[in-house]
Chains A and B, each alone.
Chain A
Amino acid sequence: MTAINAEHGHHELIRRIAATGRRWRRRAALAGLLRVASIALAVIAVTLVLDALVGLPPGVRVPLALAIVLFVIVGLARAVARPLLARIDPVRIAARIDEHHPELGELLESSAELWDKRGKGRHGYSIELIDALISKTVAEAADVDFASGERTREGRRLAWVSAVLIVAAVLGIAALGPRVGPAFERLLNPFAAASVPEVVITVEPGDATIIAGDDLPIVAAIEGPAVGPPVLRFEHEGEAPLERAMTAIAADGPDAAGDGAGAPGDSAARARYHATLADVRSDVVYSVRSGEVESDRYTVGVIERPFVTGIKLDYRFPSYSGLLPRTVEENNGDITALVGTLVRVTVNASKPLEKADLVFESGTHVPLARLGASSFTGDVRVRESTTYAIEILDADQLRNDAPPSYSIVAVKDEYPIVAIVEPGKDMEVPRGMTLPLIISAIDDYGVSKLAIRYSIEGLATEGVFEIGGQGDAVQRDVVKETVWDLAETAILPGTILVYFAEVTDNDSVSGPKTSRSESYLLRFPSMAELYSEITGEQEDMLQDLDDLVGDQEELREEFEEIEEDLKSDPEIDWQDEERVEAALDRQEELVEEVSSMADRMSDLTEKMSDSDRVALDALEKTEEITRLLDEIATKEMRELIERIRQAMSEISPEQVSQAMQEMEISQDDYMRRLEQTLNLLRRAKAEQQLTDIANRADELARQQEKLAEQAQKAPSGEQCESMSKEQQKLSEMAEQLRKDLEKAIEEMSKVDREAAEEMRKALEEMDASELAEKMEKARQKLTEQKPGEAGPMCQSAASDLRALFTRLSTCSGGMACSIQQRDREATLRAIDELLGVSCEQEEIVTSVEERSRIPRDEIVELVAKEADLAESMSSIADRMFDTSKDSFTIDPSVYRAFGLVNMYMSRAAARIAAGGSSAGAREAREALGRVNGLVVSLLTANQSNSRSQSGSALDQLMQQLKQMAQDQSDLSNMTEQLKQQLEQLGMGAQLERQLAEMKGRQERILEEARRLAKEFGDRREILGRLDDTVGEIEKTLEEMDRSGASQETVDRQKRILSRLLDAQRSLRRRDYTRERRSRTGDEYIRSDPPGLPDDLTRASQELREDLLRAMQRDYPSEYRDLIRAYFEGLSSDIESGESEGVEQ
C-alpha cells in the first residue's frame, strides 16, 4: 500500500468514527432529555395531585417548585447540553466501537492512535507498519456498521421507565379534572395563599345544540364546600344577562340535597342542581356560579325546524270554463276550484330543504320537485274534496312541526238554468205568425247552446228552433232575444204548440249538461174558436147591457114618479128623502156598472187586437162602443146626483124640482146612449159574425182550391187517403159554416133586415149550388182512388165557396154603405126640420124681445107656438134616434142638446105665460142659440160621415204604412252608404245612377204619402204627423237634388222613418187605447207626488267609504272577508231598522 492510500484510508476511518461519535452524542442528549422530562413531569404530577387533594401550603409548594425548576435546569445541562457540547475523541470512540464489534479487535483504536505517531518515530512504529495496520483496519471495517452496537438494554429500559412516568403523570393530572387548572396555577404561583379545599363546578350539557322551541335542562354538579344553591347565569343573544337559582335534584354528599350549604373545608361534599330554560328560540350563553366560584361559560346554539314560509297556488282552470289562470299568493294552501282544475302548489321554506311532500288525507305522498334550495313545487288535479298537508325535511333531517292541514274543495259544474222571460205565459199565436222571445240562460261556467224545442199536440212531429251557439267566448249569463217565425213550425189553426227552451252548458270535463225551461202553450185558435170566443163575450155583454137598459128604464120611471109626487106635494119629508136617496144610489150603481162594462169592452178590444185575424174595422167599432160606454158614465150625471142630494139636504123644493127636471133630461140622454150602445153592440156583433163567416168561406175556398190542385196533379191512387180525409174535414167545416150562417141571419134580422135578406140569398145560393153534395162526391172519388175525377168536383166546390165569400163580402160592404146613406139622409132631414124650428123660434124671440107688454091673446099664441116647437124638437130627436141608433154617425151627446133645447123652450113658454117678457125672451134666445148649435153639429157630423172610411180601408192603410216604412228604412241605409262613398270617391257616373234611382224611390214614397195624407186628411187623430211627413220628404228630395247625399239628408230620412213608425203606432194604438191623440199638450191639474223617502237620498256612501278604506289596508284575505261581512251586517242592520221604522 502506498503512503497515499494509507492516508486516504485513515481519513476515511476517522470520518466514519467521527460520524458515529456525533450520532452517539445526539442519542445521549436525547436520552438525557427524556430522563429529565419524565422525572420532572412525574414530580409535577405528584405535586399537583398533592396540592389538589390536600392543598399544599406555600412552604411546601415553594421548595418543591424550586426543586423542580432546579432539577430541570441541572438535568438539562448535564444530560442534554453536556453530551452535545463534548469534544469528539476518535480514539475513544474507536475504542467503544471496538467494544461493540469484537471482530475488529482493537484495530480501530490502534489505527486511530497510531496515525498521529506515523512519521514521528517516537515509539518506534514504522510507517509501513502503521500503513499496513490502517489498511487492514480499513479492510476489516469496510462492512461494519459502527453505530449498530449502540442500542443497549439500558437505553430500552430508560425509554420504558420514562414512558411509564410520563403516562402516570398525565393520567394523574387528567384525573384531577377541573381542579388541575387551579392547582397548576398555584404551582406556578407558589406564594399564593392556599384555598383548600377547592369548589369545583361541573356543568352539563356544557356546549351544546338544541332545536328551537325545545327546553334546555342544565345540571350542575358542585364539589367542594357548599355556599348555598348555585345560580344559573344565562344570556340570550342580544339580550341582557339573566340569573336564575338552581334547584337541588340529588346529592352525592351529605348536605347537597339540602340548601347546598356544607361545612367549610368539607372537601368531599358533592351536590347536583338543575334548572331548565324553556322554549329556547335563540342562542344562549350560560354558566353556573356557586359562591365566588363560577363555572366556565358554555354556549348552546339553537337550530330551527324548517317551516313553510309561503305557499303560492297557480290555478289553471279547465279551458271550457273560460276562467283565466289565477295565482293566489296569500300563503293559504286552501284550494277551492272547479273539478278538473290543475293547481300548481309552490312551497317556500324557512331554510334549505332536502325534500318536500304533499301528504293527502288518504295517506298518499306526492313528492314535490325542487325549484331552489328552499323551494319546491308540484301539481294537484282537483277531482274531489279532500285535505292535504305539506311535509318538509331539512338538511339536518328535521321535519316541520305539526304541518297544518289545508282543504281542497272540488266545486262541481252546476246544471244550467234557462227560462223563457218573454212571453213567459201561454198565449195565442200573435200577429204576423212571429213570436218575439227573450230567453235567459245562466250557467256557472258558460252556456254553449240554446234552442227552443217544440211539438204540436196531436202530431208526432217535433222540432227545434236553434237560437245559436255562443261561439268561443264564454257566456255565463245569456239573455237572447230573437223572433221565432212560427210559419216554420207548421202549426195550423186549431192546434196547440208546446214549447220550451233547452240550454246546454260547456262542461267538457264531466260532459255537457242540459236543462229545460218551463213549457208553454201557443194556441192557434181556429176561425171557429175565435168566432166563438169573441161572439160569446159579445153575447154576455149584450145580455148585461140589455139588463142595464131595463134597470135604467125602471129607474127613470121611479124618478118620474118622485117628480110627480113632489109637484103635488112640494113639502119634502123624511120618506121623500129616503126614496130619492135610494133612487140616487141605484143610479150611481148603474153608472158604475156602465163604467165596468166599458172596462170589459176595452179588454175585449185589446184581446181582439192581439190577433191578425180580427179586422181593424171590427176593432174600430168595438173601440167606439167602449168610448160610448165611457161617455155614458158622464161626469154630468154624477154632478147631477150630487146636486139633487145637495138640494134635498137643504130642503129646497124649488132646487130639487129643477135638479129633477135636469135629471130627467139626463136620463133621457142616458137611456138613448144605452140603447144606442146596445144597438151598436148588436149590430157590431152581427157584422162581426158576417165578417167571420165571409172570412171562413174565403179560407175554406182557399183550402178547397189547394186540394183541387193536389187532386188534379196527383197520379192515380197516390195520396188519395190523406186527400180524402182532408176533403172530409173541409166538408165538416162547410157544414158548420152553413149552420153559423143560419144563426147569423137570425141575428142580423134583428138589426138589419136588408142585410139579413142578402145573407139569406147567399145561403140559398149555397144550397142551390149543392156544395155539400159536391164535396161529398169529391170525397168519395178520393176514397175510391180516383183523384182525376175528384179534381173537377173539388174545383167546383171551391168556386161555390168563393162565390159565397164574394156575396157575403158584398153584403158586408153594402151594409156599411147603406147605413151611411141612411144616416146621411136622416141627418139632412133633421137639419132641414131644425132650420124650420130655428126660423120659428127666432120669430118668437123677436116678438117677445121688442115688446115690454104683450097682449093676453098674443101671449097664449106665443106659448102655444113655443110648446109646439118643443114638441117638434122631441119628434125630430126621436126620429133621428130611431133611424141612426145602430150607427156611429150621430154622437149621443146630440140628443142631450135636443133635451136642453126642449127644456129652454119649456122655460120660455112658462116665463111668457107668466108675463115675464124679458125673462121669456132670454130663455127663448138661449133655446134659439142651442137649436142653431145643433144644426152646426149635425152638419159637421154629416160631412164627416160622407168622408168617413170603412174599417177595411184602415187595414189597407196599415199595410201601406208598413210598406212605406220598410221602403224608407231601406232608402235611409242606401243614403248612408252613398254618403260614405261620395266622401271617399266623389261623384262618378255609377254613383250618379245610384242617386237617381234613390231619388226615384223617395219620390214614390212621397206620392204614396201625399195620397194617404189626402185620403185620410180628416183622420189626423189616427195618422198623427203623417201630413207633416210629406213636407219632410219634399225637403229631402230638394237636398238630394242639391247635394246628393249629405248628413242632413240622412238625418231627415231618419226623421221621416220615425214619423212613419209613429203613424203606424198611432193607428194600432187607437185600437186598444181609449183616448189617443197626438197634438200639443194640454195643461193638466195634477197632484204633487209624495216626497222621496229619506233613505233614498241619503247616501249609503259613508259605510261604503269606510269599507273601501278598510279594504285598502293590506290585511290577510280572511280578515278582509270578516271586514266585508261586518260592513254588510251593519248595512243590513240599518236597512232593517229603517224598514221597521217605516212599519211603525
Chain B
Amino acid sequence: MRSLRTTLPGLVLAGLILVTIVVTGAVPRGVTVAQVKYRGGGDWYANPTALPNLLTALRARTEIEVAERPATVSLDDEELFLYPIIHMTGHGRVTFAPDEAVNLRSYLERGGFLWADDNYGMDQYFRAEIQKVLPDDPLVELPHDHDIYHSFYDFTSGLPKIHEHDGGPPHGYGIYHDGRLVVFYSFNTDIGDGMEDSEVHNDPPEKREAALRMGVNILVYALTH
C-alpha cells in the first residue's frame, strides 16, 4: 500500500508525459532524461558523453525504452515537466533563481526526480541551492541497503568510488519529500566522469562499468519509485 502511494505520483507523471508525447509528438520516443541548464556560471554541460552512454546502457541492459540522447532543460522552462528524471552536474557555481526554485519544487512534488552529480566543485553551491527548493527536507545520507543501490545491480557498499578528488569515501545523499525520494546527490565520486567515453579520462574498464551500473540503478530506481 505504501509503495503504491509513493509510486502513484510517479505513475501520474508518467501518464501525463505519455499523453503529452502522444498529443504533441514533441518529445522523442521513450523515456528522456534531461540535463539541467542551471545558472550561476558553473559548467552545466560538463561530461557531455556521460548521459548518452548511460541511456545506451539503460536501453541495452533493461527493457526500458529510452531516448537516444538526453534533452536540455532550464529550471524555469515549462518543458521541465515533460521529463521524469533530470540530471545536473558541473564543477562550479550553481544558482537557482526564485522562480526556478519554485518550479523545481513543483516538479519534484509532482513526481519528478533530480539526480545531481558533483563533478568536483559543485558541492557547496548545490547544497545551498537545493535547500532553497526544499527548505524543510534535509539532505540525508542513504544507507547501503537503500533500494537505489539494489534496484538493478547490487552495490552492497553503497555508491562506488569512481574518481579521486579530495580523498575519502563517496557519499550518496537523498532528499525525501512526502515519503518519496525526490533528489539523489552523488558526492565525492564523480560518476559522470566514469560514464564518459573511455578515452576521455582513461579510467580502468571496471571503474567505467561501475559508474554505468550505478547510473542504471539510479534511473531504474527513479522510474520505478
A1082 near B161: Cβ-Cβ < 8 Å: yes
Q: State whether the Cβ of A1055 lies closer than 8 Å to any Cβ in chain B.
A: yes
A1084 to chain B: closest residue by CB: B169
Q: Is B92 an interface residue (CB 8 A)?
A: yes
Chain B nearest CB: distance from A1063 CB in Å? Answer: 10
Chain B residues touching A, majority SS: loop
Chain B neighbourhood of A1058, CB < 8 A: 43, 45-46, 91, 119
| Interface 1/0 per residue, A1051-1064 and B, CB below 8 Å | 10011011001100
For the complex formed, measure the closest distance between the CB of B193 and the CB atoms of chain A, giving whole angstroms. 9
A1061 touches B91 (CB 8 A): yes
Does B164 lie within 8 Å of A1101, measured CB to CB? no
Q: Contacting chain A: which of B16-24, B74-82, B140-148?
A: B140-148
Name the residue of chain A whose CB is nearest to the CB of B39: A481
| Cβ < 8 Å to A, chain B residues 87-146 | 91-92, 95, 97-98, 119-121, 140-146
A1075 partner, pick from B46, B157, B167, beta carbons under 8 A: B167
Give complex CA distance A838, B98 in Å.
71
Assembly CA distance A1081 to B165 (angstroms): 8
Q: Which A residues are in CB contact (< 8 Å) with B163?
A: 1078-1081
Name which residue of chain B comes closest to A1048, CB basis: B48
**Shortest beta-carbon distance, A873 to chain B, in Å?**
34
Closest chain A residue, CB of each to CB of B6: A1099
The answer to whether B48 and A1054 touch across the interface, beta carbons within 8 angstroms, is yes
User: Are the C-beta atoms of A481 and B95 separated by less than 8 Å?
Assistant: yes
State in angstroms the CA–CA spacing of A683 and B207 once bound together.
Answer: 44
User: CB of A1096 within 8 A of chain B?
Assistant: yes
B63 an interface residue at 8 Å Cβ cutoff? no
- In the bound complex, how far is the Cα of B144 from the Cα of A1075, in angstroms? 26
* Contacting pair A1075 B189 (CB below 8 A): no
What residues of B have a CB within 8 angstroms of the CB of A1075 in the complex?
166-167
B residues less than 8 Å from A1100 (CB atoms): 178-179
Contacting pair A1092 B178 (CB below 8 A): no
**Chain B residues within an 8 Å CB radius of A1083:** 161
Q: Whole-angstrom distance from the CB of B46 to the nearest CB of chain A?
A: 5
**In the complex the two chains form, is B91's CB within 8 Å of A1079's CB?**
no
Q: Are B167 and A1077 in contact (CB under 8 A)?
A: yes
Determine how close the nearest CB of chain B comes to the CB of A515; give it in whole angstroms: 19
Shortest beta-carbon distance from B224 to chain A in Å: 15
Q: Which range contains the number of B residues in contact with the other chain?
A: 35 or more
| A1088 and B158 within 8 A (CB) | yes
Question: Shortest CB–CB separation between residue B202 and chain A, in angstroms?
Answer: 8
Contact of B166 among A1028, A1051, A1076, A1102 (CB under 8 A): A1076
Q: Which residues of B contact A1085 (CB under 8 A)?
A: 169
| Chain B neighbourhood of A37, CB < 8 A | none
Selected from B5, B120, B190, B203, the residue in CB contact (under 8 A) with A1101 is: B5
A1077-1129 at interface with B (beta carbon < 8 Å):
1077-1086, 1088-1092, 1096-1102, 1104
In the complex where A1055-B48, A1086-B169, A1099-B178 touch, is A1065 in contact with B120 (Cβ < 8 A)?
Answer: yes
Interface residue? A31 (CB, 8 A): no
User: Which of B144, B165, B203 counts the most A-chain CB atoms under 10 A from its CB?
Assistant: B165
| A102 smallest CB distance to B (angstroms) | 122
Chain B 187-222 per-residue mask, 1 if CB under 8 angstroms from chain A, else 0: 001100000000011111001000000000000000
What CA separation (Å) do A345 and B213 show in the bound complex? 65
Is A397 close to B, CB under 8 A?
no
Interface residues on A, range: 35 or more
> Is B168 part of the contact surface with A, judged by Cβ < 8 Å?
yes
Asked if B176 is an interface residue, CB under 8 A from chain A, the answer is yes
Assess whether B203 is in contact with A1065, with CB atoms less than 8 Å apart: no
Tell yes or no: A980 within 8 A of B by CB.
Answer: no
* Contact B43–A1081 (Cβ < 8 Å): no
B144, A1078: Cβ atoms under 8 Å?
Answer: no
Of the candidates B91, B141, B179, which one forms a contact with A1098 in the assembled complex, judged by CB atoms under 8 Å apart?
A: B179
Q: Do B179 and A1099 have beta carbons less than 8 Å apart? A: yes
Closest residue to A478 on the B side, CB-wise? Answer: B98
Contacts of B98 in A (CB 8 A): 477-479
**B144 x A1089 contact (CB < 8 A):** yes
* Cβ 8 A contact of A1099, one of B46, B140, B180: B180
The CA of A478 and the CA of B101, in the complex, are separated in Å by: 12
Q: How far is the CA of A647 from the CA of B44 in the complex (A)?
A: 58
Question: How far, in Å, is A1093 (CB) from chain B's closest CB?
Answer: 8
Q: Which residues of A contact B158 (CB under 8 A)?
A: 1086, 1088-1089
Question: In the complex, are the beta carbons of A1088 and B161 less than 8 A apart?
Answer: no
Q: Contact: B180 with A1061, CB < 8 Å?
A: no
State whether B201 touches A1025 (Cβ < 8 A): yes
A1073 to B167, CA, bound (A): 10
Q: How far is the CA of A1025 from the CA of B196 in the complex (A)?
A: 14
* Residues A1091 and B143 in contact in the complex (CB < 8 Å), given A1077-B167, A1081-B164, A1084-B161: yes
Q: How far is the CA of A1101 from the CA of B5 in the complex (A)?
A: 8
Report the nearest A residue to B204, measured CB to CB.
A1080
Indicate if the CB atoms of A1086 and B189 lie closer than 8 Å: no
Cα distance, A1101 to B1, chains bound together (Å)? 12
A1098 touches B140 (CB 8 A): no
Question: Is the Cβ of A1099 less than 8 Å from the Cβ of B189?
Answer: no
In the complex, the chain A residue whose C-beta lies closest to that of B160 is A1081
Tell me how far the C-beta of A193 lies from the nearest C-beta in chain B, rounded to whole angstroms: 89
- Measured in the bound complex, the distance between the Cα atoms of B176 and A1078 in whole Å is 32
Across the interface, which residues of B come within 8 angstroms of A1080, CB to CB? 162-164, 201, 203-204, 207
How far is it, in angstroms, between the C-alpha of A1065 and the C-alpha of B180 when the chains are bound?
35
A1028 to B201, CA, bound (A): 8
Q: Per a CB cutoff under 8 Å, which of A1028, A1061, A1081, A1101 touches B179?
A: A1101
Contact partner, B164, options A1051, A1054, A1079, Cβ 8 Å = A1079
B176 and A1097 within 8 A (CB)? yes
Task: Give the residues in chain A near B120, CB-CB below 8 Å.
Answer: 1062, 1065, 1078
A1051, closest chain B residue (CB)? B48
For residue B189, which residues in chain A have a CB less than 8 angstroms away from its CB?
1081
Check B143–A1092 contact: CB distance below 8 A: yes
Question: Which residues of chain A are within 8 angstroms of B178 by Cβ–Cβ distance?
Answer: 1099-1101, 1104
- B121 contact set on A, CB distance < 8 A: 1062, 1065
Convert A764-808 into 0s and 1s, putting 1 for each residue whose CB lies closer than 8 angstroms to a CB of B. Answer: 000000000000000000000000000000000000000000000
Contact of B164 with A1089 in the complex, beta carbons under 8 Å = no
A736 and B22 alpha carbons, distance in the complex (Å):
79
- Asked whether A1089 lies within 8 Å of B179 as measured between CB atoms, the reply is no
Instruction: Specify which chain A residues have a CB less than 8 angstroms from the CB of B92 in the assembled complex.
Output: 1061, 1065
Task: Tell whether, in the assembled complex, residue B161 and residue A1054 are in contact, meaning their CB atoms are under 8 Å apart.
Answer: no
Set B160, B165, B202: member contacting A1077, Cβ < 8 A: B165
A1076 to B178, CA, bound (A): 38
- Contacting residue for B165 out of A1028, A1055, A1076, CB 8 A: A1076
Task: Report whether B161 and A1096 are in contact in the complex, using a CB–CB cutoff of 8 Å.
Answer: no
B161: chain A residues at CB < 8 Å are 1081-1084
Q: How far is the CA of A1088 from the CA of B159 in the complex (A)?
A: 11
Q: Is B95 in contact with A1089, judged by CB distance below 8 angstroms?
A: no
In angstroms, Cα B121 to Cα A1097, docked, is: 30
- A1037 vs B6: C-alpha distance when bound (angstroms): 51
Question: Cβ of B143 and Cβ of A1088 under 8 Å apart?
Answer: yes
CB distance from B70 to the nearest CB of A (A): 12
Instruction: Please tell me if the beta carbons of A1092 and B140 are within 8 angstroms of each other in the complex.
Output: yes
State the Cβ distance, B111 to closest chain A Cβ, in Å.
12
Question: In residues 26-83 of chain B, which contact A (Cβ within 8 Å)?
Answer: 40, 43, 45-46, 48
From B5, B46, B176, contact of A1092 by CB (8 A): B176
How many Å lie between the Cα of A1075 and that of B167 in the bound state?
A: 7
With A1081-B163, A1092-B140 given, name 10 new contacts (CB 8 A): A479-B97, A479-B98, A1075-B167, A1077-B167, A1078-B163, A1079-B163, A1085-B169, A1086-B169, A1097-B179, A1104-B178
List 5 A–B pairs whose Cβ atoms lie within 8 Å, in order of A's numbering: A1073-B166, A1080-B162, A1092-B176, A1099-B2, A1101-B179
Chain B interface (Cβ < 8 Å from any Cβ of A): 2, 5-6, 40, 43, 45-46, 48, 91-92, 95, 97-98, 119-121, 140-146, 157-158, 160-170, 176, 178-180, 189-190, 200-204, 207
Those 10 A-B pairs whose CB atoms lie nearest each other, nearest first: A1099-B179, A1081-B161, A1084-B169, A1086-B169, A1089-B141, A1088-B144, A1058-B43, A1075-B167, A1096-B176, A1051-B48
